[in-house]
């Protein structure tokens, strides 16, 4: 099989078969939401950094360009433009922020706007060197299959390493030589084949902020840190006492819940996020999670029943933590 046939095969497998997806422990997923990209692209000014007409990829890889990504909301922070600039100048950048702050979302959006195929790897999953770099299948040394990182290095696009600080050391070590802008990779398992990094191979890593409060987070490895020229910080729109009216507007617009309920939901979400950031609860709700809660209310479920089915269950399996969250929801909702 040629490389391209192989990729095509992979794409078919990943998009049609869940078991293959699980086997490889990687996800090459695409947003299914319907949206008019033409209208969307007017809102962002990235052409001077990443011009889709300058990139050409094999049609098979072209299928990995995300489609119909919803817009990214921020307070004039111009994250889309800043990420595009970092990629244009330095080929790679790092996104730092708690989970649910839209890091993955914005990477999809940048990839779509720039017309770049997206290769996504969640480093927190038990992904092996074989999955990422490649291996022989069958008997002998006839049939080599490239892993995801190898495919990216050969064919270009954006490699997105989610939770990069959770990456296992053996993988991080092998990644280092590729991280130089004109890097290369050596496939030791394939008679030391040397692959030059494709000229349009960009890298984005994301991670949770490292602090004693975030259980399970650890500093990113030093070699990788040194090779990231730009670091962008992400946070929730509303946290603690800081309530962003735009986030309330968004919930109303997306769900038709009444504004009073939307306000309560954002205030509760903001408080849960604050507690998550200080390590008191294991999860802070994203705007997407709060929208799910609102959707059930808009469909006729009571405010508290809808909370049970969404935000309370989502935060933790632990009955005690669920009790804490429930109490907090009642307290804030009744004081509003
Ligand atoms: N600023 C934002 N604008 C639009 N949607 C957002 C924003 N921040 C988060 N979301 C939504 O919240 C959910 C979680 O975002 P995600 O990108 O998965 O977060 P992260 O990768 O930082 O954990 C998604 O449904 C995403 O679309
Ligand atoms: Mg993510």
Nearest CA to ligand 1 atom 13: 288
pLDDT digits (tens, 9 = 90+) for 133-187: 999 998 888 899 999 999 999 999 999 999 898 888 888 888 888 887 668 999 9
In angstroms, what is the span from residue 237 Cα to ligand 1's centroid?
A: 10
Answer yes or no: is the C-beta of 105 below 6 A from any ligand 1 atom.
yes
Q: Specify the higher pLDDT residue, 100 or 2.
A: 100
Residues 268, 240: Cα–Cα separation, whole Å: 9
Q: CATH number of the domain that 128 lies in?
A: 3.40.50.300
- C-alpha–C-alpha distance, residues 179 and 230, integer Å: 14
Q: Does residue 69 have its Cβ closer than 6 Å to ligand 1?
A: no
Q: Are residues 293 and 155 in the same domain?
A: no
Q: Among the three residues 171, 205, 233, which one is the final residue of a domain in this structure?
A: 233
Ligand of minimum distance to the alpha carbon of 106: 1
Give the span between the Cα atoms of 107 and 118, in whole angstroms.
9
Does one domain contain both 221 and 261? no
Q: What is the pLDDT of residue 17?
A: 34
Q: Which of 163, 198, 233 is the last residue of a domain?
A: 233
Report the alpha-carbon distance of residue 85 to residue 41 in Å, rounded.
16
CB contact at 8 A, 32 and 91: no
> How many CB atoms neighbour CB 182 within 10 A?
8
CB–CB of 266/319 below 8 Å? no
Please check whether residue 103 lies inside any domain of the structure: yes
In the numeric block, the tokens 């994203």 are attached to 286
Query: Is 239 domain-assigned?
Result: no
Predicted TM-score (pTM) of this structure: 0.82
Are 210 and 254 in a shared domain? no
240 is a domain residue: no
Reported as a single tens digit per residue, the pLDDT across 277-311 is 888 899 999 999 999 999 999 999 999 999 999 99
Nearest ligand to residue 291 Cα: 1
Alpha carbons 135 and 143: distance in angstroms, whole number = 8
> Which of 121-125, 214-218, 228-232 is predicted least confidently?
214-218
Q: What is the mean pLDDT of residues 236-243?
A: 95
Which of left, alpha, beta for 181 (phi over 0: left; psi -120 to 50: alpha)? alpha
Please tell me if the CB atom of residue 29 comes closer than 6 angstroms to any atom of ligand 1: no
Range of the domain at 155: 3-233
- Report CA(103)–ligand 2 centroid distance (Å): 6
| Under 8 Å between Cβ of 97 and 208 | yes
In sequence order, the 6+-apart residues with CB closer than 8 A to the CB of 47 are none
pLDDT given at position 60: 85
Same domain membership, residue 292 and residue 199? no
**Number of structural domains in the chain:** 2
**65-111 per-position pLDDT tens digit:** 999 998 888 778 899 999 999 999 999 999 999 888 999 999 999 99
Residue 22 lies in a domain: yes
Query: Do 27 and 143 reside in the same domain of the chain?
Result: yes
Are 215 and 279 members of one domain?
Answer: no
The rounded Å distance from CA 171 to ligand 1 centre is 27
The answer to whether residues 49 and 178 belong to one domain is: yes
Give the DSSP H/E element, type plus range, for residue 35. Answer: none
Residue 305 placed within a domain: yes
| pLDDT greater than 90 at residue 41 | no
Please indicate, yes or no, whether residues 118 and 98 belong to a single structural domain of this protein.
yes
Question: Are 121 and 160 in a shared domain?
Answer: yes
- Please check whether residues 133 and 23 belong to one and the same domain: yes
Inside any domain, residue 238: no
- Judge if the beta carbon of residue 286 lies within 6 A of ligand 1: yes
At residue 301's C-alpha, the angle toward residues 297 and 305, to 5°, is: 100
State the pairing for strand pair 143-146/231-233: unpaired
Is 316 inside a domain boundary?
yes
Angle CA 166–8–174, to nearest 5:
30
Using the 3D structure, point to which of 184, 209, 233 is the last residue of a domain: 233
Whether the CB of 103 sits within 6 Å of ligand 1: yes
Do strands 118-122 and 157-162 pair parallel, antiparallel, or not at all (unpaired)? Answer: parallel
* One domain for residues 122 and 194: yes
C-alpha distance across the termini of the chain, in Å? 63
Shared domain check, 169 and 46: yes
Distance 217 CA to ligand 2 centre (A): 14
Q: Whose CA is nearest to atom 1 of ligand 1?
A: 73
Question: How far is the centre of ligand 1, averaged over its atoms, from the C-alpha of 167 (Å)?
Answer: 22
User: Quick one: residue 270, left, alpha or beta (phi over 0 = left, psi -120 to 50 = alpha)?
Assistant: alpha
Q: Is the CB of 209 under 6 A from ligand 1?
A: no
């Amino acid at each position: 099989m040629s490389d391209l046939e192989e990729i095509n095969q992979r794409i078919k497998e990943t998009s049609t078969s869940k078991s293959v997806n699980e086997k490889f422990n990687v996800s090459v997923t695409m947003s299914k939401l319907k949206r008019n990209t033409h209208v969307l692209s007017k809102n962002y000014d990235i052409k001077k950094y990443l011009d889709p007409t300058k990139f050409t990829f094999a049609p098979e890889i072209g299928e990995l360009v995300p489609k119909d990504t919803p817009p990214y909301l921020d307070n004039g922070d111009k994250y889309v433009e800043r990420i595009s600039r970092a990629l244009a100048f330095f080929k790679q950048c790092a996104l730092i922020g708690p989970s649910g702050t839209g890091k993955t979302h914005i990477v999809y959006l940048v990839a779509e706007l720039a017309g770049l195929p997206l290769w996504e790897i969640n480093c927190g999953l038990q992904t092996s060197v074989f999955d990422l770099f490649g291996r022989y299948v069958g008997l002998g040394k006839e049939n080599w299959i490239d892993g995801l990182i190898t495919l990216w290095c050969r064919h270009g696009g954006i490699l997105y390493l989610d939770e990069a600080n959770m990456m296992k050391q053996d993988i991080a070590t092998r990644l280092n030589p590729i991280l130089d802008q004109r890097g290369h990779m050596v496939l030791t398992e394939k008679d030391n084949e040397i692959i030059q990094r494709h000229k349009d191979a960009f890298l984005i890593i994301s991670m949770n902020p490292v602090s004693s409060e975030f259980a399970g987070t650890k500093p990113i490895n030093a070699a990788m840190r040194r090779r990231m020229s730009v670091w962008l910080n992400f946070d929730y729109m509303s946290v603690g006492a800081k309530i962003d009216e735009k986030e309330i507007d968004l919930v109303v617009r997306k769900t038709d819940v009444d504004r009073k309920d939307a306000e309560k939901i954002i205030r509760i979400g903001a408080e849960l996020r604050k507690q998550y950031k200080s390590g008191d609860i294991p999860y802070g709700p994203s705007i997407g999670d709060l929208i799910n809660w609102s959707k059930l209310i808009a469909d006729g479920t009571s405010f508290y029943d809808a909370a049970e089915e969404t935000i309370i269950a989502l935060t933790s399996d632990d009955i005690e933590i669920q009790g804490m969250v429930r109490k907090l929801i009642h307290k804030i909702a009744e004081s509003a």
